[in-house]
Amino acid sequence: MIHYQLPSSLPQDISQFQEDIASFQEGAIHGTAFKAKRVKMGVYGERGDQTHMIRIRCAGNVVTPKQLVKVGELGKRYGKPWAHVTTRAELQIHHIALENVMPIIEELEQVGLATKGGGGNTIRNIFTNADSGVNPNEVFDVQPYAIALTNRLIAEADSFELPRKFKTTFSSLAEDTAYCTIQDLGFIATTTAKGEKGFQVYIGGGLGAKPKLGVLLHEFVQENKIFQVAKAIKTVFHSHGNRKAKNHSRIRFLIHEDLGIERFKELYFQEFYKILGDSAYDLEITPIDNTENLNRSFEIEPVTEEIEGYERWYQNNVSAQKQEGLYCFRLPLRLGDLATEDCARLEEILRPFGDNVLRCIDNQNLHVRNIPQAYLKNVYQGLKTLDTLSDKPILYGNMIPCTGAQTCKLGINFPRPASTAIFKHLDQQSIEYDLLSDVRIHISGCPNSCANHWKGDLGFFGKVRREGGHPVPTYNVLGGAKIKTGETHIAEHIGWVHSKDMPQFLAKVLAEYERYQKAHDSDTDFHAFWNDQGKEFITNLCVEEFNSIPSFDEDVSYYFDHGATEKFSTKGMGTAECSAGMYDMLDVDSKAIKVNLKIIATWQENEESLKKTLQDTVFFSSRILLITRGQEAKTDQEAYDLFLKHFVDKGLVGEEHRNIVEQTKAGADLLPNKDAVVALGKTVVDLYKSMDNTMRFPGEKENFAINMDAKKEVPAKTAA
């Protein structure tokens, strides 16, 4: 088995989401609540609020060629005509109208792909180093483990009701080639002296605006016990995670700041040892056979004649697998995109070699595997017909831009057009790029690190500066990151550069690194260059050549970003999509209650208007805290009933407030009881203020924020 299993609940989830879309379009669901529902289903609103991006899970990096074709087809039919590979080794489709979301999700399900968990407070895509299973230096293949863990986690309802997103990776090499030490949860393959397979486990890493390094949780955990690890962490996260402050709600903050490492470990091991000995939680691993093409007969004749560019392509991209006689290669994509027609053409090229040939790479490229040596020229001949970066220096494929302000609501700059401008400028330089193949360049449009700028040899993130009252697009400059087990450290912030000057700036940095490589007979790397002289050189370069902003009258081009037709502005920015959750409704209702209380206090005339305000106040007061009990009202009447059941009946809200809620439910005139409405509103707001970050009220030990369906234990053996 090379692909994850869709959970049995997915058809019901899809049906419910279709109802949610209809309810939102009818005005029956608040926009904030609907955003939480659609983001959990992997549907993000794009800048301008007219279109959406759909993110598709590719567990263990795996996508079959036919699945890729389907993604490309759906992009062309409904949005942008390409499939986009992300920095979590999954796929995205862009520019989708809301009315086309359901047909896409339904067609993806038919080819074994799901979007649920692509965003929101969920278990996100679990990926590995893309060459796991074929790398000659690996400890063992970890892709089957990533797929098996995905199967179990996405079968559990509470995996989609977390305080915040939960990111996991697996590395098949001891060196941590999947960035396990900067994930919420990371598994690095290892073995004991007796040859037993297992994992070194790291917890609490992450990037974003406040990056943290993971801490070692297990020096060794047996290979079939990794679900127990993830389950125990998820349980602690559910119970103690911050559900109020979304900027402080990731596992890394819980470990490094809220609980502390030792207290977290204490809570974790309590949960871990409860289930460690229960074999029902043991993962059943199905190995992936990467040897099939050694004995398969092919209906195509090997190409033997010379092909222009083949030798250079082979040298730059092709590697021998640990399966002697088979080869793999990196397929570098332009900005992470593969056009619809090229998706279909790639499937034709790879068709003779079966389904187990394609992986997404977390640097927005594709990995092709299991190609017999005799057919490499056949494959290259086909690749020459595709629009990729296969004929460009390795450096080009190692440049990772996020989507930025072109589609993202939080984006400041335009990294994709900037990258295109960089390519164009570098094409004109006389630099020996083969000496620079190790350089990784990450460009994020804002501080949120969607392009993982903290782990780049060179990293950039968008920043607004002002000159003469005009906003100017710039990038903060970082560098020197190293991701290696026991030696990981994130990049340092050392300066800034104008967006316009990024191509010229990078050319100067790369030229200096080229000189360094030649001086050391090409026997060095960028990290050594950074520590030796690169950091000082780049810091000085920023200050001396790129930190002087000309006035608007002197050079207006500095006030336009790459690819922009309008002067730079942040007016199109909106609220975050990826952190959207139902908990956001707490603030929506709290603000509504407070506004209404002010209206009631200052009311002088227009009784009909006041009647509506009084009714709304009771409704908001009844609905606001239901999420803390894991409840969601489908109707106004249900909101009143649930409030009485979970708050008045339980004594969290005084019995004196029951009557006004029942009157409102019955449609009574609330004017004579205006004071009772005000009292209820104030009581509920005060109760909200008393709630801690885990959504517990004073004296509560149980966390009720997870609804009962999500708390149900999925039978372990049937989930895999």
pLDDT category of residue 579 using cuts at 50, 70 and 90? confident
Over residues 405-434, the mean pLDDT reads: 95
Please write the tens of the pLDDT for every residue from 199-215. 999 999 999 888 999 99
Candidates 210, 277, 223, 287; CA nearest to 250 is: 210
Both tokens of 684, joined, read: 């509920």
Whether the predicted pLDDT of 715 surpasses 70 = no
pLDDT (0 to 100) of residue 714: 64
Convert the pLDDT of each residue in 518-550 to its tens digit. 999 989 999 999 999 999 999 999 999 999 999
**pLDDT tops 70 at residue 341:** yes
Residue 463 bridge partners (DSSP): 474
How crowded is the C-beta side of 547, counted as CA atoms within 13 Å? 12
CB 407 within 8 A of CB 445: no
Tokens of 489: 């450290």
User: Does residue 720 carry a pLDDT above 90?
Assistant: no
Residue 645 has pLDDT above 80, yes or no: yes
Confidence (pLDDT) at 719: 40
Give the angle subtended at the CA of 459 by the CAs of 454 and 464, to the nearest 5°. 100
pLDDT digits 0-9 by tens, 36-55 = 999 999 999 999 889 999 99
Helix (H/G/I), strand (E/B), else coil: 291: coil
Amino acid residing at 91: L
Q: How confident is the model at residue 640 (pLDDT cuts 50, 70, 90)?
A: very high
What percentage of the chain carries pLDDT values higher than 70? 99
Question: What does the pLDDT read at residue 708?
Answer: 74
- pLDDT of 408: 93
State yes or no: pLDDT of 559 exceeds 80. Answer: yes
Is the per-residue pLDDT at 717 higher than 80?
no
From start to end of 16-147, where are the E strands?
Answer: 43-45, 52-56, 82-85, 91-96, 127-128
Residues 424-452 pLDDT 10s: 999 999 999 999 999 999 999 999 989 99
Instruction: In whole angstroms, give the CA distance from residue 77 to residue 420.
Output: 26
Residue 197 φ then ψ, to 5°: -80, 145
Residue where the block lists tokens 């009557």: 659
Q: How many angstroms separate the CA atoms of 272 and 561, rounded?
A: 51
What is the 8-class DSSP label of residue 334? B
Contact 93, 16 (CB under 8 A): no
- Please give the residue that has the higher pLDDT: either 245 or 263: 263
Would you state the pLDDT for residue 606? Answer: 76
Structure tokens at 296: 């398969």
Find all residues with CB under 8 Å of 260, minimum gap 6, and list them.
none
Tell me which amino acid residue 381 is: Q
Pairing of strands 470-479, 492-498: antiparallel
Q: Is 318 helix (H, G, I), strand (E, B) or coil?
A: strand
- Mean pLDDT of the 59-77 span: 98
Interatomic CA distance for residues 554 and 562, integer angstroms: 18
Residue range 280-303: mean pLDDT, rounded: 95
Residue 338 structure tokens:
């593969």
For range 477-491, the mean pLDDT = 93
- Asked if 664 and 619 count as a contact pair (C-beta separation under 8 A), the reply is yes
Share of the chain above pLDDT 90, in %: 91
Measured in residues, the chain has a length of: 720
Judge contact between 215 and 167, C-beta under 8 A.
Answer: no
Range 236-262 average pLDDT:
94
Picking from 479, 476, 459, the residue whose alpha carbon sits closest to that of residue 547 is 476
On average, the pLDDT of the chain sits at 95
pLDDT-based confidence at residue 289 (cuts at 50, 70, 90): very high
Q: What is the torsion angle, in degrees rounded to the nearest 10, for the CA atoms of residue 519, residue 520, residue 521 and residue 526?
A: -110
Distance CA 270, CA 277 (A): 13
Closest by alpha carbon to 251, among 277, 217, 226, 200?
Answer: 217
Please state, in angstroms and rounded to a whole number, the distance separating the CA atoms of residues 272 and 373.
46
CA atoms of 526 and 300, how far apart (whole Å):
43
**pLDDT-based confidence at 718, cuts 50/70/90?**
very low
Which structure tokens are listed for 230?
Answer: 């993830």
Q: Does 593 or 572 have the greater pLDDT score?
A: 593
**What CA–CA distance (Å, rounded) separates 298 from 352?**
7
How far apart CA 541 and CA 63 sit, in angstroms, is: 43
CA–CA separation, 590 and 625 (whole Å)? 9
Q: What is the pLDDT of residue 711?
A: 81
Answer positive or negative: Cα dihedral of 720, 14, 170, 83: positive
Write the DSSP assignment of 60-87 as a string of letters: GGB--HHHHHHHHHHHHHHS-SEEEE-T
Q: Which stretches of 520-632 are DSSP H helices?
A: 526-529, 535-545, 584-601, 607-623
DSSP 202-263: EES-B-TTS-B--EEEEEEEEGGGHHHHHHHHHHHHHHHS-SS-GGG-SHHHIIIIIS-HHH
pLDDT value at 190 more than 70? yes
Tell me which of 579 and 72 has the higher pLDDT: 72
pLDDT tens-digit map of 79-119: 999 999 999 999 999 999 999 999 999 999 999 999 999 99
Give the separation between CA 88 and CA 717, rounded to whole angstroms.
Answer: 28
Q: Determine how many CB atoms are found less than 10 A away from the CB of residue 595.
A: 14
Map 436-498 to HEC letters. HCCCCEEEECCCCCCCCHHHCCEEEEEEEEEECCEEEEEEEEEECCECCCCCCECCEEEEEEE
Longest dimension (CA), the chain: 93
Structure tokens belonging to residue 6? 């869709």
Give the lowest-confidence range in 22-31, 487-496, 584-593, 599-608: 599-608
Mean per-residue pLDDT, 626-635: 93
Task: Tell me, rounded to whole angstroms, the distance of Cα 306 from its chain centroid.
Answer: 43
186 or 608, greater pLDDT = 186
Residue 697: is its pLDDT beyond 50?
A: yes
Structural domains in the chain, sorted by start: 135-289 (3.30.413.10), 293-338+345-393 (3.90.480.10), 396-549 (3.30.413.10), 584-704 (1.20.120)
pLDDT (average), residues 351-372 = 98
Of 680, 579, 693, the residue nearest 628 (C-alpha): 693
Burial 146-167 (b: 16+ CB within 10 A, else e): bbbbbbbbbbbbbbbbbbbbbb
